[in-house]
Every structure is written in C-alpha cells, then in structure tokens.
Structure 1
Amino acid sequence: MPVDVPAPCRCRWCTTDPLYQRYHDQEWGVPSRDPGHLFEMLVLEGLQAGLSWITILRKRERYREVYRGFDVRFMAAQTDADLEQLAEDPGIIRNRLKLRAARQNAKAWLRLAGEQDPVDWLWQFVGGKPQINHFADHGQVPVTTPEARAMSRALKQAGFSFVGPTICYAFMQATGMVMDHTQDCFRYPELGGKTGAAPQQQ
C-alpha cells in the first residue's frame, strides 16, 4: 500500500495555492544577486502595494510579457501612450500611478547602474550578506526594520517610487537579503537557520 507522505510544514502566510507554494518553496528567502531578478522583484513589490502578493504572482507572467522580461531599457523608454495602452490590459494591475512608477524606477535603475553596481548597492543595506533570523512564529516577523528604512530613504533619493519601508522589507525578504522563514518551516534549515536557535524577540 502507498504510504502517505505528510505535507511539508511551511510558513504560516503560505496558502494551499500551488503557485504560492512554489514561490515559497523555491524563491522566497533565497539570496539573489542577479540584477534582473532584483529589478523585477523591486518593481513587483511596488506593484503589490495595497494588494495581496498572490494577486501579483498570478499576474507575474503577464508582466514579464508586457515588460519583455523586465527589460530595464525597454521599460525606461515607454511613452505615456505606451502606458495608456498598458492600462487597458486586464492581465496586469491597471493602476496608472503604478505603471508610471515602474517606468520611473527603470530610469532610476539605469542612472544607478551608470554610477555603480546596483546589486552591491542594494546588498550594502544588510552588510553584503544575508541576515538569518530565527523567528519561532510568523507573528514575530517585523513589517520593517532600520535597514529597510535606510534602503527606502536611499532609493527615494535615487529617484525610485513606491519604495516605502514596508515594501523594502518585503523586497529584502523575497530576495534573501533577510531570511525570515520561521523555525517550523522546512525551508528554515535549508536557508541557513539552525535547529534549536533561540527565538528572536521584537
């Protein structure tokens, strides 16, 4: 008789949606130093503002299509007419402020890249290496930190939009700058957490 294999224990925020589970299991919290991925996640986190993350995940492939794989130069060169056309696409979030912010952020990224490596610049806010947290429960995980607030201020000064402290911390979590899988999650030890670590207090 086949043996039932128990489902892995995941972070409490992860639902039973297969798309959400794949994102949690394969991407969230994994350290990323790929500039294309970092730019994509920065844009997507800004687009999420006021919405659930699963909404963005479900529209992610369409965003990749209309933004040509989040091609920074293509996005930076979009005209107002291009944005108006995008605002009619039911496959994305048709918020004109967010569409303009995505274009603005592409331009800001190009300016930043002309001066220094955006990857190193972003990672500097966590000292260049992942911050491994040891939270026992999802309720202990903060929504922002001093590092995220510093990143937010710097991004705004560099011309980025929709990069508040909460968005920046979500970006840090998503790209593995901080590892916030809780101790009961099967990804916790896989991404550097240690069994028996003392829970962090907030």
Structure 2
Amino acid sequence: MSRVLVFGGHGRIALLLAPLLVARGDEVTSVIRNPDHVADVEATGATALVADIEQLDVDALAEIIRGHDAVVWSAGAGGGDPKRTYAVDRDAAERSMDAAERAGVERYVLVSWIGSTAEHGIPQDDPFFAYADAKWAADEHLRGSNLAGTILGPGGLTFDEPTGRIQIDPEDRGEVSRADVAAVIVEALQNPATVGRTIRFGNGDADSSLPIAEALAG
C-alpha cells in the first residue's frame, strides 16, 4: 500500500484516478479548494483535504505532503485568466515540487500536456499562451529538481470510455480519454521505468497503440 497525495482532487482526471488507486489498495488524499466538493471526492474512496494551493507557501505545502509516498499534480486553473493560470499551473506547481523535496517525498507525477515544449508555437497574443508557458515552466522545474519525477503529456482530453491502450509520441497531438489518462498515472506510479521521463501520448488506433503497461515499459 502507498500513500498518494493528489493535488487538483476534484478535477475530472483526479476523480477517475482516485478509485483506481483505492482499488489497488492505496490510501489516497485529494487536495481540493472548495469544501462543497468534499462529498464528490470522498465518494471515490479518497480522503478530501480542503486547502487553497494558491495561498500556501512551501513550508505549508510540505506539511501537507510529508508522510506520503508519492505526489500527483493534476491541478490547474482551467484556462481563461492568465494571472490565475500562472498562479496555479506554474507557481503553485513549482512550490509543491520544492515542498516535496523539503518533505522528503521523492516520487512526483506531473500531468502536463502533449505540446509542452520550449517551442510550443503558441503566440503571446493567443489566449492559450499563458497555459502553454506555465506548463513548460513547471515541467522544467521538475526536471531541474532532485525528485523522482515523471511528466505526463496527454493529448486533447475526451470523455470517451477507456480503451486501456495508448500510443507514445503520436505524430499529431491526438486525443485521449480522461479515463485512460487516469490509468496511465496509476501505471506510472508503480513503474520505476517511468522515472525521469517525459511521456507524450494519445489513444491512437488499434494498429498504433499498445496496452498501457506495455507502452510505458519502453
């Protein structure tokens, strides 16, 4: 059994992730900002922890993280407001990484996006620029840390049923179901071969995809 802390616990991916982790015997704590979401989170089998990650400094985040075996960052501002996007997707994410180091919790899985590269190609006047810029900064912060990190870069997210299969490094930015992203997080947490890697993926098709565990093993 592992103790897993999930930031962004009321997000659509996190709500699918928690029951998968609980089913394999993990103890899951999901961090949420809105107390009205406690019931939704606890229905997944996770324990809800109400905390505003935008307001917490590294020391406060370290207190939340301490005692866990792994951290999953699946939080995000949801786009729209550039100031809040930077505050959550970049600044709070980076503080959580520093806090994980301070708390002695090495395993860290960051949910990014498939196009997160230095040359992401999003112009500064595009409303999506703040998201792309913030995600790339957070990715780089994790790469520069001493954490045993994995960066997951899913393609466009869908509400499709899970397929249990993904394609690594698809030629286009593809699509992937949120349920399959949740399954990829579970596999990444338990597969040491994913440490230190940036894994970009989509669902692909029957000919180009592999079962998730097999795809991540490479």
Pairwise TM-score range, normalised by the shorter structure? under 0.3
Higher relative contact order (CA 8 A, sep 6+): 1
TM-score (norm 2): 0.26
**Which protein has the bigger strand share?**
2
TM-score (norm 1): 0.27
Q: Return the index of the structure with the highest Cα Rg.
A: 1
**Which protein has the bigger helix share?**
1
